[in-house]
Amino acid sequence: MTDAPLLLYVVKQLELATRARLDAVLKESGVTALQYTALSVLEHRPTMSAADLARASFVRAQSAADLIGALERRGLIERRIDPDSRRRMLISLTAEGRAFLDTYDPRVEELEEQMLADLGPEDRATFRAFLDTARRALS
């Protein structure tokens, strides 16, 4: 038996530390970490349904509705009717949303760089691969 904490505990500590730091980076913008996550998802997948955005942003449907409403009120996203399914709304970034990400993505990248500063390129790739393997194992 080892005195080291469970790896699950270490992963949770890392999540809490990164979330606190991300909140600090975003504080002046008034955008939450969850809202930033949704915007960054839309940056990579330009048009999504609310359900798809909720899944990709790690939130429940009700939380997604609140999140989408807040981002829409701020003018960072827009909703429009899906031409293929008139009952479904598609969500995409606005020009203001893209400008927000142009401002804050470099700051978030700096945070990630700080977190990984002591790891070389090979160790970073290995770390990412290990995290991806663990995530897939629990999916």
Residue 127 to residue 115: CA distance in whole angstroms: 12
Quick one: how far is CA 72 from the chain centroid? 17
Instruction: Please tell me the pTM assigned to this model.
Output: 0.86
pLDDT, tens digit, 9 for 90 and up, residues 26-75: 999 999 999 999 999 999 998 999 889 988 888 888 888 899 999 999 99
pLDDT, tens digit, 9 for 90 and up, residues 23-33: 999 999 999 99
pLDDT at 1: 60
| Sequence spans of domains, the chain | 7-137
For 91, residues 6+ apart whose C-beta sits below 8 A from its C-beta are 42, 47, 48, 49, 50, 53, 68, 77, 78, 79
The CATH number of 7-137 is which of 1.10.3470.10, 1.10.10.10, 1.10.3720.10, 1.20.120.450?
1.10.10.10
